Amino acid sequence: MAERYSSFAPGGTAWLLQRITAAFLIIVLAFHFFLLHFVTHAWEITFDGTAARMENLGYFITMILFLITATFHGVNGVYNALINQGLSGTPKKIVLAILVIAGGALIAQGIWVALVWRGVM
């Protein structure tokens, strides 16, 4: 039988954060689908409506946390999947740097858009 291998060390920080972010994402995705697919239907969603939702501090903070959590969860998952496929040495460092830069850029862009929608910028 094949042995199970994972780059996540059970009990390690990356392992724990991957599970915590997964649980948070399940809850926030349920909130998102309920609010934007059942309470408000797709044809009712407008730029002004999004701006109005972002003016609510609780919604704004939730969306910022959603952005940061989803980005971390995705980047961490991709990085560890590549390690599981045998990525090591210098290529591993290069991929990590690219993923960190791309993740940081995604978070910065997302926060900027959220602030514009909130009317701060």
pLDDT digits (tens, 9 = 90+) for 46-59: 889 889 999 999 99
pTM of the shown model:
0.85
**pLDDT score of 13 more than 90:** no
Give 12's DSSP letter: S
Q: How far is CA 22 from CA 16, 73, 74, 82, 96, in A?
A: 10, 7, 10, 19, 21
Question: Contacts by 107-112 with C-beta closer than 8 Å and gap 24+?
Answer: 107/67, 107/68, 107/71, 110/64, 110/67, 110/71, 111/64, 111/67
CATH 1.20.1300 fits 13-118, yes or no: yes
Mean pLDDT of 29-44: 86
Tell me the C-alpha distance between 37 and 52, whole Å.
17
Name the pLDDT band for 121 (thresholds 50, 70, 90).
Answer: confident
Here the tokens at position 90 are 């210098």
List pLDDT tens digits, range 59-108: 999 999 999 999 999 999 999 999 989 999 999 999 999 999 999 999 99
Tell me the C-alpha distance between 95 and 84, whole Å.
14
Here the tokens at position 49 are 């409506």
